[in-house]
């Protein structure tokens, strides 16, 4: 399937040397829109990850029974955009202290999460989240609840969810950051 905005194949094959990362930050429509126009991002897709059921559907995930989160999958060229740049955008554009919600979107599928594809991403995530935690505490926020795991299986969401806000510019997505910058 071709990316509606980027015209790249969202399922690969991806260019040699590219890396991938998954971020969960509430509604996956808004999360995807944050990343698709960044220089160095080859493609994005929305889907489900971190759960207990193979090949979940949107209805199953929304029921809360699968333990999946809504995530944006990002394939990027690390020679053009660094992982830490992507991580900064992730942290600054949602509230990682809200647990199983983001704004009005409530449920475990909206939890904050980082699903890494290598040890370097994993360790960088741990360090950056700890640094951001200190900034959030100074700003009066609570503890970060972001789940950080490596090698989590990604399941593509249904086609109508892919690049939803490009196809439906008036669509709702309540992603908002804390105002704290990394």
Residues tagged active-site: 27
Q: What CA–CA distance (Å, rounded) separates 127 from 143?
A: 15
From the centroid of its chain, how far is CA 64?
18
Between the CA of residue 8 and those of 15, 17, 81, 142, what are the distances in Å?
11, 16, 17, 39
Helix (H, G, I), strand (E, B) or coil at 124: helix
Query: Would you say 94 and 26 are in contact if contact means Cβ atoms under 8 Å apart?
Result: yes
Query: Would you say 152 and 20 are in contact if contact means Cβ atoms under 8 Å apart?
Result: no
Residue 50, phi then psi, degrees to nearest 5: 80, 10
Query: Would you say 68 and 61 are in contact if contact means Cβ atoms under 8 Å apart?
Result: yes
Q: What CA–CA distance (Å, rounded) separates 120 from 13?
A: 22
């Amino acid at each position: 399937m071709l990316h509606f905005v980027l015209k790249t194949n969202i399922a690969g094959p991806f260019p040699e040397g590219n890396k991938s990362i998954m971020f969960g930050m509430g509604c996956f429509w808004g999360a995807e829109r944050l990343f698709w126009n960044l220089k160095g991002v080859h493609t994005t897709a929305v889907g489900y990850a971190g759960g207990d059921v193979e090949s979940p559907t949107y209805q199953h995930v929304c029921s809360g029974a699968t333990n999946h989160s809504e995530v944006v999958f990002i394939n990027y060229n690390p020679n053009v955009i660094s992982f830490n740049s992507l991580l900064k955008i992730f942290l600054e554009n949602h509230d990682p202290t809200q647990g199983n919600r983001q704004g009005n979107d409530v449920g475990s599928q909206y939890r904050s999460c980082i699903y890494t594809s290598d040890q370097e991403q994993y360790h960088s995530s741990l360090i950056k989240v700890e640094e951001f935690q200190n900034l959030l505490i100074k700003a009066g926020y609570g503890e970060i609840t972001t789940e950080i795991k490596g090698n989590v299986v990604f399941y593509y969401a249904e086609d109508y969810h892919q690049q939803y806000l490009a196809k439906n510019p008036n669509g709702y997505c309540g992603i908002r950051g804390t105002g704290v910058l990394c």
